[in-house]
Amino acid sequence: MNTIFLIIKREYLVRVRKKSFIVMTILGPVLIFGFYAIIGWAAVSSINQKKIAVVDESGRFSGKFKNDDETNFAYLKESLPAAKKTFVKQGYDALVFIPKDVIEYPKTVQIFAEKSVSLSLQSNIERSIGKEIENQKLEQAGITQKIIQDAKVNVDAQTISLSDAGEKSSNGIATTIISGFCALLIYISVLIYGTQVMRGVMEEKTSRIVEVIISSVKPFQLMLGKIIGVALVGLTQFMLWIVLTVGLMTVGSSLMGQKETAKSAVATRMNGMPGGQDVQQKMSTAKNPVADVMAAIETLNLPLIIGCFLFYFLGGYLLYSALFGAVGAAVDSETETQQFMFPIMMPIIAAIAFAQIAVKDPDGPLAFWTSIIPFTSPVVMMVRIPFGVPVWEIALSMILLVLGFMGTTWIAARIYRVGILMYGKKTSFRELAKWVFYKG
């Protein structure tokens, strides 16, 4: 046991003392936030308004289409043949032709462009024409736009979770985002840290250092110490990320609280001024997106989510890293790992696919069984937990995950003890099966 502890200590200290670990631990949350912020900014800033020329042969759509950030409609007073020759020179991105009988035959609309029309632009044009045809048909039936607008109602329902402890407010958007983020983080972490174990074993094998180590340490002890050491590195990094994230959220919430207090004070002072009541009402009803996000997060059972996340990260990592370590011991170079990596990667990739289904139906049979099977449970169960999972299902999933880790560790250890000292021989799946049952 003391030998395993020394190996764990060595693997842990070597990795946490690296500058790359320190930099990524500190900058990790910032980089992740910045990455998604850049994507969001790029998605918004990349929207270019398209100029659409319209030739309306029916004469029923002039001035009816509404312009927005994506499309700007302009009506041409010329025939279709003439417009087809000039619309590109006039700076239009597309030409829409609306025939006379479009109300009776809406599929006769034509869109002309110098290049292929994007799917989003085609959808916007079709939606605008379809909506206007619908409005005109309703008006012919005696239903005016005022009646339609008055009939439209936006319902903003409050979701409440019922349990033995009583009623508790919930938020579907926050639940979906947190569950998906946790599942994706476990998926990425298992691959990153599992690959670290495999490469560490390969480096020691190819450099022949392992021959010296094996003289005083059993192969199983070396493999287990390496796996647990890297696991502790991952846990350390996650714990620091959680602390940093909570700290940033606390600071952000405090700043937003001060801002709301200042706005309330301004609104109070303006209450006695002319028009001040209108300003106060607008300021009081204005939504604060950051406060909405914080309030949504507070509806979740964060201690349970964080605790289960750490368990399933550790369980999933131990399950797969043992197999990664066995692959590293079985090959002589990284190019030989590809044939063995695919069977290991398939369950974890399938887990991501099952997780997308579990988000839509967290209590369905597919979500249940994939959250119980050890090879997919670390990802799928983390999707289900924010939605609420019975305790017995979580307990069963955890027990089976521990048993699965013990099983993969036993198989990996059997392969590791033979493969770690095997050089110059190309390994196959049949050879690995022989190593598992080798009694020497």
CATH topology for 49-144? D-Maltodextrin-Binding Protein; domain 2 (3.40.190)
Task: Tell me the Ramachandran region of residue 425: left when phi exceeds 0, alpha when psi lies from -120 to 50, beta otherwise.
Answer: beta
Segments making up each domain of the chain, as ranges: 49-144, 170-257+292-437
Task: Tell me if 93 sits within 8 A of 52, measured CB to CB.
Answer: yes
Query: Who contacts 321 (Cβ-Cβ below 8 Å, separation ≥6)?
Result: 190, 193, 194, 197, 227, 230, 231
Task: Tell me if 220 sits within 8 A of 3, measured CB to CB.
Answer: no
* Local mean pLDDT, 10-residue blocks, the chain (440 residues): 81 83 77 71 70 87 79 86 88 89 86 85 87 84 78 72 59 75 84 83 74 72 82 82 72 59 54 49 48 61 85 88 84 76 88 89 90 92 87 93 88 80 74 76
The reported pLDDT for the residue numbered 399 is 95
The C-alpha atoms of residue 181 and residue 306 are separated, in whole angstroms, by 12
> What would the two tokens of residue 105 be?
């035959």
The reported pLDDT for the residue numbered 284 is 47
Task: Tell me the Ramachandran region of residue 424: left when phi exceeds 0, alpha when psi lies from -120 to 50, beta otherwise.
Answer: left
pTM over 0.95, yes/no? no
The C-alpha atoms of residue 91 and residue 53 are separated, in whole angstroms, by 9
Which residue is associated with the tokens 């700007």?
Answer: 72
Task: Tell me if 97 sits within 8 A of 57, measured CB to CB.
Answer: yes
The C-alpha atoms of residue 170 and residue 90 are separated, in whole angstroms, by 53
The reported pLDDT for the residue numbered 1 is 66
